[in-house]
Amino acid sequence: MKNDIQTLKDIHFLVDQFYAAVQQDPFIGPIFNSRLTGRWEMHHKKLYRFWHTVLLRRPDYFGNPVPIHYNMNIGQSHFDHWLSLWIEIVDTHFEGEIAERAKFRGKTMANAFLAKIKRAR
């Protein structure tokens, strides 16, 4: 039986596992790698705080992550792929209420990001 996401350490593990997979992914990896090479550690630190706030409801992240994505050439297929990879990583390592929240929030955020990007264009 897998454990649920319960601590900041679990968030770190989830983010690290997910972005290790992203970096190797042939579809979305090049997009992330082209923007984050040499800056992955900084990106992870932001995402630790972001997911800590979203999943464990600890006010640790303040900001608007959407605008940085406006000038990227990404669309529905990229967000669908991101989400499928996110769900795969969550399911591989965790189960429980917070793990389900992680998958649900991943889906709602992917949809919201895409809608905002489309409006900005």
The per-residue pLDDT for range 93-120, each reduced to its tens digit, is 999 999 999 999 999 999 998 998 888 8
Instruction: Give the pLDDT mean for 35-49.
Output: 92
3-class SS letters over the chain: CCCCCCCHHHHHHHHHHHHHHHHHCCCCHHHHHHHHCCCHHHHHHHHHHHHHHHHHCCCCCCCCCCHHHCCCCCCHHHHHHHHHHHHHHHHHHCCCHHHHHHHHHHHHHHHHHHHHHHHHC
Q: What is the mean pLDDT of the chain?
A: 93
- Residue 3 covered by a domain: no
Q: Which domain holds residue 32?
A: 8-120
pLDDT for the residue numbered 60: 80
User: What CATH number did the domain enclosing 70 receive?
Assistant: 1.10.490.10
- Residue 1 covered by a domain: no
- Residue 70 covered by a domain: yes
- Residue 2 covered by a domain: no
- The residue type found at 116 is K
pLDDT for the residue numbered 92: 98
- Residue 93 covered by a domain: yes
- Total of domains in the chain: 1
